[in-house]
Amino acid sequence: MYAQDQISGTIKDSSLEEVIVTGVPRATEKRKNPAVVSVLSRTELNRNAYSNLIDAISSIPGVSEMTEGPSISKPFVRGLGYNRVVTMNDGVRQEEQQWFDEFGVEVDENTVNEVEVLKGPASLRYGSDALAGVINFLSPPTVANGTVKGKVLTEYQTNNGLLNGFLDLAGNNHGFSWDVAYTHLQAHDYQNKYDGYVWNSGYSEDNVKGIFGINRKWGYSHLILSSFDLKLGVIEGARDSATGIFKKHYLAHDGSDSMGIAPLNQSTDYYNYPIIHQHIRHYKAVLDNSFTLGKGRLNAIVGVQVNHHQEANDITKGDIYNNYFFLRTLNYDLQYLLPQKNKWDISFGVNGMQQSSEDRGIVFVLPEYDLFDIGGYGIAKRSFGKLTLSGGVRADSRTLHGKALYVDSSGNRVAQLGSSSVEKFADYHSDFSGFSGSIGLAYDLTKAFYVKLNLARGFRAPTAAESGQNGIHDGTPFYEIGDHNLKAESSLEVDATLGVTTNDVSVEITPFVNKINNYIFPEKLASVHGGDSIRADIAAGLSGPTFKYVAGDAVLSGGEVSVNWHPGTIQWLKFENSISTVSAIQLNRPDSSKYLPYTPPTKIISKLTFTADKVNAAFQQAHFSIWIEDYFEQDKIFYQFGNETVTPGYTLLNASLGTDVRWKGKTIGTLIIAGNNLTDKGYQSNMSRLKYTDVNNVTGRTGVFNMGRNISFKLIVPFDIKKG
């Protein structure tokens, strides 16, 4: 969408404090908000070479990503992910199939103007699932009245031949505003120094988004319509034992599934989606309203989302999708902001969602279900000179109805239970309720020094996968069983902040401790005869060790430290440094299983940036950045079942160079060249699921490695059709 330098609706100015909107009733100075919030601007997004949007925000301290190739990334905040992080987009929580590793976040990266990450429980404002935090993708502001303008973005990345094209056009005619955008993106297989081209890692996207609104003195009403369409290969990592070359599925003469060497000459082909691949479509309509009501303001948002997640993973079935998850979600959010009085900011509201899930495939992993939740809350904030106090309470209720499913001896769906069929999923109802709340303070010790303290309680109801799953998903070798009797998770987190801001230096230290009760995780079952309990999923044609979801208690602790040097007398120089770390422990567990699996390692980022407002008449607003990302060894792992292995540390070198190009006093374009992993380091992230694929017998290395050297060439061309 049309972008300009902006922070949450407020134009960015070096003399102004940074303003945030996530988790607060009104736009609030970041320094005055007790919760820990990080911000990533559109300018910063443009200056990086990333493979997807979650990959881009993983540079934020305390944020990491679970990956399964360049097109699948899931966000983790302070060591927690999946349904413990709420992703907001277009004012509503993004609801897709976030319960599984192979399902990424379905947001068009080009339409995001800014990202705000709230670290810590945010159930007070967002309800169930915001146990670890909130990632809020913000759209650009409405353009000025009387203008019609837009931009074209083109990008090429060298590693996987990524082609990214984006066109946006926006206008405003006396308060009637519109903004229409289209993205086309395609990439072939990526490569690294140990694997060469990684078979079946290509993908393509076609996305459309439109915002149509009325803006008046009484408020505004905006209709947001979007379509996200992604098709991607799924990396299995199977290898030929003699050569180490990746293998692919072939249909044998007798109709069976046969594995043979993948044709290397097809790795640079676009739109090459053999078995296994996914097709994901996400459609959304959001009506975002804000009205003056009395002396206060009423905000009302309603959203409808439809998600199709299809997977073709069995070549013997022909051109059909074995797994087909179909999800419909209705979001609603009603909030009233009382008029400010005696420095009090008070708001209250109700929000939640209604959700229905269908399984339209022929392989059944989790039950079809209906879900409804509702929560009511009140939030208050009061300033007393240098002291700001804020807090609130919330009550939540969620009802989950898992539906029965019967299958015959071949795993096919049948209408009712009979002598030749069995019950795949039982009919069940689960009701959950929880109370959330927070209380915090922010205090300016001096003009430069400030402290913050926040105590928050979070709430998360079990997902349909955790409560009702019964089968094997093709992306994992495990047979997983849910438990209808699981209780809701609850957390209590303490966050503290010590900050210093001067003309030359900014320092912020943000430690935290998060205690989670009834933490839900899968535990392997043992056979009565000894060894693993092995179960077969007839419809999937797979068998594997059995895991069942159970609950315990966990404690996560750690924090982030940022030290940024931006000398007032040398305004063209900036040196930014951050370190983030988290320890994640399950209580009352033996040493082999006391650490939560896939905990992100300690991460250090050091970045040096040089800027020049004017190089000459043709080149202005130039920058050059060079930085390292240093990831420590991760040996605090879940050893018990051999599912996780120690990951060595590694260091990546990145750089970015860019400038605005001007002609006759007008900016005609922005050129950015950015490079990731410039030394072509061969490495595996401990949060990459590809780390656990087959052994390469030729090299002795296990699993698939992350992307090698990647250079991005990006050109952004703004244009004006009508000036105000």
Residues 431, 428: Cα–Cα separation, whole Å? 10
User: Length of the chain, please?
Assistant: 724
With cut-offs at 50, 70 and 90, classify the pLDDT of residue 615: confident
Q: Residue 435 pLDDT more than 70?
A: yes
117-159 pLDDT tens trace: 999 988 899 999 999 999 999 999 999 999 999 999 999 999 9
Segment 528-535 shows an average pLDDT of 76
SS3 (DSSP) at 376: strand
Written as one letter, the residue type at 303 is: G
| Stretch (H or E) spanning 197 | strand 196-197
**Structure token digits, residue 117:** 């990450």
In this structure, the strands spanning 405-408 and 413-414 are antiparallel
Residues 556, 78: Cα–Cα separation, whole Å? 8
382-408 pLDDT tens trace: 999 999 999 999 999 999 999 999 999
DSSP state of 78: T
30 phi and psi, to 5 degrees?
-55, -40
Written as one letter, the residue type at 304 is: V
Instruction: Report the CATH number at residue 578.
Output: 2.40.170.20
pLDDT of residue 255: 87
In this structure, the strands spanning 257-261 and 323-337 are unpaired
Position 276 in a domain: yes
Report, in angstroms and rounded to the nearest whole number, the Rg of the chain calculated over CA atoms: 26
Cβ contacts of 194 within 8 Å, gap of 6 or more: 682, 696, 699, 701, 705
163-210 pLDDT tens trace: 999 999 999 999 999 999 999 999 999 999 999 999 999 999 999 999
In this structure, the strands spanning 542-565 and 479-481 are parallel
Position 79 in a domain: yes
pLDDT of residue 409: 85
How far from 390 is each of 175, 381, 386, 399, CA to CA, in Å? Answer: 35, 4, 13, 30
For 567: left if phi > 0, alpha if psi spans -120 to 50, otherwise beta; the answer is: beta
Of 512, 359, 1, 477, the closest CA to residue 211 belongs to: 1
The Cα angle at residue 190 between residues 188 and 193, in degrees rounded to 5: 150
247-261 pLDDT tens trace: 999 999 998 999 999
With cut-offs at 50, 70 and 90, classify the pLDDT of residue 103: confident
**Structure token digits, residue 592:** 């082999």
Cβ contacts of 37 within 8 Å, gap of 6 or more: 20, 22, 23, 30, 116, 117, 118, 119
352-368 pLDDT tens trace: 999 999 999 998 989 99
**Structure token digits, residue 560:** 């982030």
* Domains: count for the chain: 1
**Structure token digits, residue 367:** 């039950």
Q: In 542-566, which positions are buried (b, 16+ CB within 10 angstroms) versus exposed (e)?
A: bebbbbebebbebbbbbbbbbbbeb
Of 359, 349, 363, the closest CA to residue 395 belongs to: 349
CA torsion sign, 228 to 20 to 38 to 393? negative
pLDDT of residue 643: 78
**Structure token digits, residue 36:** 């820990």
Cβ atoms < 10 Å from Cβ of 400 = 23
Of 567, 651, 578, 579, the closest CA to residue 610 belongs to: 567
Q: Residue 343 pLDDT more than 70?
A: yes
- Cis amide bond preceding 276, omega within 30: yes
Position 22 in a domain: yes
Segment 587-613 shows an average pLDDT of 94
SS3 (DSSP) at 21: coil
pLDDT of residue 5: 33
464-516 pLDDT tens trace: 999 999 888 776 678 889 999 999 999 999 999 999 999 999 999 999 999 99
**Structure token digits, residue 565:** 């040097």
Of 234, 273, 227, 286, the closest CA to residue 108 belongs to: 227
Position 711 in a domain: yes
593, HSE (Cβ side, Cα atoms, 13 Å):
13
Domain, as residue range, for 278 = 6-722
Segment 7-35 shows an average pLDDT of 68
Q: What is the dihedral of CA 169, 174, 176, 177, to 10 degrees?
A: 30
Share of the chain above pLDDT 90, in %: 77
Q: Are 329 and 117 in contact (CB under 8 A)?
A: no
Of 670, 673, 715, the closest CA to residue 165 belongs to: 715
pLDDT of residue 1: 52
pLDDT of residue 545: 86
| Stretch (H or E) spanning 42 | helix 42-46
Residues 706, 70: Cα–Cα separation, whole Å? 8
Mean pLDDT, all residues of the chain: 92
**13 exposed, middle or buried (CB, 10 Å; 0-12, 13-18, 19+)?**
exposed
With cut-offs at 50, 70 and 90, classify the pLDDT of residue 541: confident
How far from 422 is each of 219, 306, 362, 412, CA to CA, in Å? Answer: 57, 31, 16, 10
Q: Are 697 and 244 in contact (CB under 8 A)?
A: yes
274-332 pLDDT tens trace: 888 999 999 999 999 999 998 999 999 999 999 999 999 888 887 789 899 999 999 99
Q: What is the DSSP string of 85-139?
A: EEEEETTEE--SSTTSTT------GGG--EEEEEES--HHHH-TTTTSEEEEEEP
Segment 210-233 shows an average pLDDT of 96
Position 1 in a domain: no
Position 651 in a domain: yes
Q: Are 417 and 438 in contact (CB under 8 A)?
A: no
pLDDT of residue 523: 85
Q: Are 558 and 76 in contact (CB under 8 A)?
A: no
First-to-last CA distance in the chain? 19
**Structure token digits, residue 695:** 């052994």
Which of 609-613, 666-670, 720-724 is least confident? 720-724
Q: Supply the pTM of this predicted model.
A: 0.93
Residues 370, 566: Cα–Cα separation, whole Å? 53
Position 323 in a domain: yes
